[in-house]
Amino acid sequence: MNKTILDLWVGLFVIVGFAALLFLTLKVGSMNTVNRSDSYEVTARFENIGGLKTRAPVKIAGVVVGRVADVRLDNETYEAAVTLRLDKRYAFPKDTSAAIMTSGLLGEQYIGLEAGGDSEKLKDKDRVLITQDAVVLENLIGQFLYGKAQEGAPQ
């Protein structure tokens, strides 16, 4: 076969292959992984994190501003220590609160932030002090039943 035609075909093949990779990167995936370089880490402690996993989104007002970087147990207080990696573009007041929420009824769990009013901002390695645990459905049902039973009990 003619060498130039062969070169042309292989060149086309390589271009189309890289175009497919580009398509996968830009259209299918997203480059919104928060890098170590343009992010900062804060910790938060929860008594119960429910089904929260690493890489779960951190949202404020519904916008993803970071990811859960690490989940571990503090062996002294028996609390879950959660490390959040937040995008450097966003700064939050020092008294921002963090709550574990569920998207939809059975969806994945994420951390919802709620901004406070402090004029100082959260910095790297800071700790979010106000936290709200995950809602465990079984406990909720238990409480409901207990309340019902109390209602019906003779005074």
- List all residues 6 or more positions away from 79 whose beta carbon is below 8 Å from its beta carbon: 45, 46, 47, 73
Binding characters for other proteins, 64-103, by CB under 8 A (x = yes) = x---------------------------------------
Task: Tell me how far apart the alpha carbons of residues 82 and 89 are, in angstroms, rounded to a whole number.
Answer: 21
The answer to whether residue 7 forms part of the interface with other proteins (CB under 8 A) is yes
The answer to whether residue 20 forms part of the interface with other proteins (CB under 8 A) is yes
Neighbours of 82 (CB within 10 A): 25
Q: How far is the CB of 93 from other proteins (least distance, A)?
A: 27
Task: Tell me how far apart the alpha carbons of residues 101 and 119 are, in angstroms, rounded to a whole number.
Answer: 26
Q: Which of 2, 27, 76, 117 binds other proteins (CB under 8 A)?
A: 27
Closest of 140, 70, 133, 78 to residue 101, by C-alpha: 133
The answer to whether residue 17 forms part of the interface with other proteins (CB under 8 A) is yes
Q: How far is the CB of 154 from other proteins (least distance, A)?
A: 44
The phi, psi pair for 132, rounded to 5°, reads -130, 130
CB nearer to other proteins: pick between 28 and 149: 28
Question: Contact positions toward other proteins, by CB under 8 A?
Answer: 1, 3, 6-7, 9-10, 12-14, 16-18, 20-21, 23-25, 27-31, 33, 54-55, 64
